[in-house]
Structure 1
Amino acid sequence: MKLLKALAPAAALIALPAMGFAQDDGPVPGVNPSTDSVFVFNSLLFLIGGFLVMFMACGFAMLEAGLVRAKNVTMQLTKNVALFSLAGIFYYLIGYNLMYPLGTWSIDGILSGVWGPGVLEAVGVTADAADDYGYASTGSDFFFQLMFCAATASIVSGTLAERIKLWPFLIFTILLTAVIYPLQASWKWGGGFLDEAGFLDFAGSTVVHSVGGWAALAGALILGPRLGRFGKDGRVTPFPGSNLALATLGTFILWLGWFGFNGGSQLAMGSVGDVADVSRIFANTNTAAAGGSVAALILTQLLYGKPDLTMVLNGALAGLVSITAEPLAPSLGGATLIGAIGGVIVVFAVPMLDKLKIDDVVGAIPVHLLAGIWGTIAVIFSNGDATLGTQLYGIVVVGIFVFVVSGVLWFILKMVMGIRVSEEDEIAGLDMAELGMEAYPEFSKG
């Protein structure tokens, strides 16, 4: 509160929207100080939001490490570090300019005409050059958008755990972060045809979360379930995770990171109105997570006679995914209800996937795909500019594109180099079979 009061006078001076300039060490001739401040505050929002979303990589790693069996923990940690690093490189080399064509389309509204590495603004921007850099630094924008790209890849990792080879997974990650994710994101956030059609997705229930979910679903169908998971008689054998404390820690880290995910997507902090909106987004994001968690807690008690911690954790995450498409417009009560429905979706969707014999180790498909679809539809209940037909149109277009392209890539990888480890390696655990090291050497037997 004290910080907000301290910032209020400065924010009041910059309440009118204006293009920003890069700040030098001292006053720059010809630069409006209030406009300069807009540039600084907007860039700061991107940077703070970006490192919060980056911390979600830790959350994904801890969640997955806790929900897989002990013999596969090191593999999940390795995949999460590697996928984040590969995303950082290939989003720079291809993805960023593919996602933001800035009006340069080779196919209007569909395919960017710019294929090449991202370029940041020059060091020491002068007054004459400042107009070229818009309302925030390109470095802060690139960093922020990269974190979203990496988060999409993290979603796929958990679903396919415990039976996929490392290198085919990483090759798919490269293609996902360099081409698949940026291309479909350009259709909405790059000013493409979905944006022109009026499709609304504030921070990515569809553009980020359902994309990861569709890619994971395609991989799970081609990869197949873990050995012994589904019996011929229809019985489902539970494979308990190795460390629910880690899974809980991962969930809270993701919950924290989501404030950057949704709050940073306001894309501006240069006015009183912007700061008020970011604050509202934070509050709605938090209450949606709470709604999803409590809904899962109560529902599992009613259905199974005892609460299920893994469902409660995924309920919170589903609430977060559900509110991501529109975290600004709903009231606190509306946001809580949207999140609660996400939690309900998870509780019913997990056993539904089991009946379909789709093996999703961490529940990423219910959380990110199904709750992402729900959240995108739920926009119509609070945002008067949204229509059901347009929202469904965006969901279907992105879903078909990502599922088909991902399925083709998974199939090619399966045919060319194989994507699944041998039965012996799967039984022994991927930590030793693929990496030759264990996360818990004293306790990982059996």
Structure 2
Amino acid sequence: MLKKSLLGLGALLLLFPTMAFAADGDPSAATLNMGLNALWILVAAILVLLMQGGFILLETGSTRMKNAGHVAGKTIFTVGLASLVYWAVGYGIAFGGDASEGLNKFMGIGNFFFDPSILAGEGDSYPSTIFFVFQLAFAAVSLSIAWGGFAERAKLSVYLIFTIIFTAVIYPIIAHWIWGGGWLAADGAQDYAGSTVVHLTGAMAAFAATILLKPRIGKFNKDGSANEILGHNQVFTSLSVLLLWVGWFGFNAGSAVSVGEGFFGYVAFTTQLGAAGGAVSALLISWLVKGKADIPTMLNGALAGLVAITASCAFVEPWAAVVIGLIAGVLVFLSAQFFEKIRVDDPISAMSVHGAAGVWGTLANGLFATQKLVDQVGVGKAGLFYGGGGEQLWVQFLSVVVCGAFAFAASFIVLWVIKQVSGLRVTEEQEIIGLDLSEHGTYGYPEALKRAGTNTTSL
């Protein structure tokens, strides 16, 4: 009975944080609100960080089993490295300094080696520590999107170097432009949770990598026709999409960074509609064109719907969220076919899911943003279909072009320099053997290796 009572009390303290404050006397409404905000943002940050599990399963399932251990291990390593780099440099560039002054319009200068106060200050809506963790999780997601362009052929050393530069400079500069009060924020650019900041940035880095690394062995024939290199586990990819879908509620609804009157619930609602629209339309278009309902296309459609609604989840009505998702699902199918035609080898469909859908989702605000929701969020103006004219659409277009071009150019230059100095790609022999053995000396599926007759103890 005592055990049950203690468990019940613990649950009440978790669900109703106001009880925890009672021990220190009657708290102010502001303190209670701050506590609730802090709790929600931390939960959202945890959801976003757990999306890395989705990326591990997505990249592993979409590639061959000889690279499975490498995919999982390098993801954990790069998230750890990115955390240190973002703490030391990236956060300061994204959110440091007064964004209204001089160079700070283009990049933050301050808060390097971030050393926050241990408690929230007077009048703060949430502790800066929790905001840092939340923003770090976003940076890690953008980095993991970029890895889609490196899959199955990049050296481990390239992951290390690119993680440092991407997390220290490339991603934070774009985050500063739109979220840190930079020049695009001053123009009223609407990107609620990162269709451009997170997804397009990662996709353009992936695009640069695919160009410089060139296609995997056996992907394209001499006549330009493509061979299908199947992923080894469709169950992994399906589970990955579910994990990412759930994590996306932290991504989008968490970006409200407050409990308030429950606006984060509306954001979660439109997020679900966008994802659903993407999954349905992608399956139907693949069925119509191919004659078979393609499961990988449907999974990519769900992710594309999530990517597209990420910019607009707080700005559009429910019917528009469905339309945005439906279009994203069709777009990801057509985009994947386009990239294959121009001989770009994108094993994880990063450019289609996060790039094409990210562009569409950002532009969609310029069409569907309502004045009521714009007033609620306090960013930009209404879209074309809601009496705002073309002004917001132009701002959205500008943000896509500038951010996409910067992310691609910066990533390309960094990777080109690495290629000249030490090389980007493993040798042909190493690629054929697989990155598990060639880069790590172990195998993600050791039992399968034993059945193949290889003595793992000597590796």
| TM-score when normalising by structure 1 | 0.90
State the Cα distance separating 1:230 from its structure 2 match: 0.7
**Map 1:4-19 → 2, pairs under 5 A:** none
Structure 2 residue corresponding to 1:424, chosen from 423, 429, 444: 429
Given residue 235 of structure 1, which amino acid in structure 2 is its aligned partner? S
* TM-score computed with the length of structure 2 as normaliser: 0.87
* Amino acid of the structure 2 residue aligned with 1:323: I
Q: Distance in 2 between matches of 1:442 and 1:87?
A: 33
Structure 1 residue corresponding to 2:395, chosen from 374, 387, 390: 390
Query: How far 1:286 moved relative to its partner?
Result: 1.1
Residue 198 of structure 1 deviates from its aligned partner by 1.2
2:356 counterpart residue number: 370
The answer on whether the counterparts of 1:209 and 1:369 sit within 8 Å (CA) in structure 2 is yes
Pairs within 5 Å for 1:273-312: 275=262, 277-312=263-298
Structure 2 residue 180 is the aligned partner of structure 1 residue 194: no
Aligned residue among 414, 429, 435 for 2:440: 435
Residue of structure 2 in register with 1:109 after alignment: 105
1:79 equivalent in alignment to 2:74: yes
Question: What is the aligned partner in structure 2 of residue 349 from structure 1?
Answer: 335
More helix by share: 2
Aligned to 2:126, the other structure's residue is in SS state: coil
Residue 377 of structure 2 aligns with which residue? none
Decide whether aligned partners of structure 1 residues 135 and 314 sit closer, same or farther in structure 2, where only a CA change above 3 A counts.
Answer: same
Tell me the secondary structure at the aligned position of residue 325 of structure 1: helix
The equivalent residue for 1:54 is: 49
Q: After TM superposition, give the deviation of residue 397 of structure 1 in Å.
A: 1.1
For CA contacts below 8 A with separation 6 or more, give which structure has more relative contact order.
1
What is the root-mean-square deviation of aligned Cα atoms in Å?
2.2
Whether 2:225 is the aligned partner of 1:235: answer yes
For the structure 1 residues 24 and 118, does the alpha-carbon distance in structure 2 shift closer, same or farther, using more than 3 Å as the test? farther
2:312 maps to which of 303, 323, 326: 326
Matched, 1:118 2:126: no
Which AA in structure 1 matches 2:290?
Answer: Y
Instruction: Tell me the secondary structure at the aligned position of residue 351 of structure 2.
Output: helix
Give the conservation status (yes or no) of the 8 Å contact 1:79–1:157.
no
- Kept in 2, the 8 Å contact 1:102–1:190? The answer is no
Gaps of 5+ in 1: 1-5, 14-22
1:76–1:157 Cα contact (<8 Å) kept:
no
State how far apart, in whole Å, the 2-side matches of 1:106 and 1:45 are.
35
| Structure 2 equivalent of residue 215 of structure 1 | 205
Distance 1:437 1:24 in 2: 55
Q: Partner residue of 1:135?
A: 125
Structure 2 counterparts to residues 93-108 of structure 1, below 5 A: 93-103=88-98, 107-108=103-104
- Secondary structure at the residue paired with 1:360? coil
Distance across 1 between alignment mates of 2:23 and 2:419: 55
Separation in 1, partners of 2:367, 2:210:
33
Calculate percent identity across the aligned residue pairs: 38
Q: How many residues align?
A: 418
- Does residue 242 of structure 2 align to residue 252 of structure 1? yes
Distance 2:76 2:243 in 1: 16
- What is the letter of the counterpart of residue 27 of structure 1? G
2:347 match: 361
Structure 2 regions of 5+ residues with no counterpart?
1-11, 372-380, 384-391, 454-459
Structure 2 Cα separation of the partners of residues 26 and 397 of structure 1: 51
Matches of 2:397 and 2:141, distance apart in 1: 23
State the 1:25 CA deviation: 6.1
Aligned to 2:266, what secondary structure does the other structure show? helix
Pairwise CA distance, 1:369: 0.7
Q: Which moved more, 1:331-340 or 1:231-240?
A: 331-340
Report if aligned partners of 1:377, 1:392 keep a CA contact under 8 Å in 2: yes
Q: Give the Å deviation of 1:287.
A: 1.4
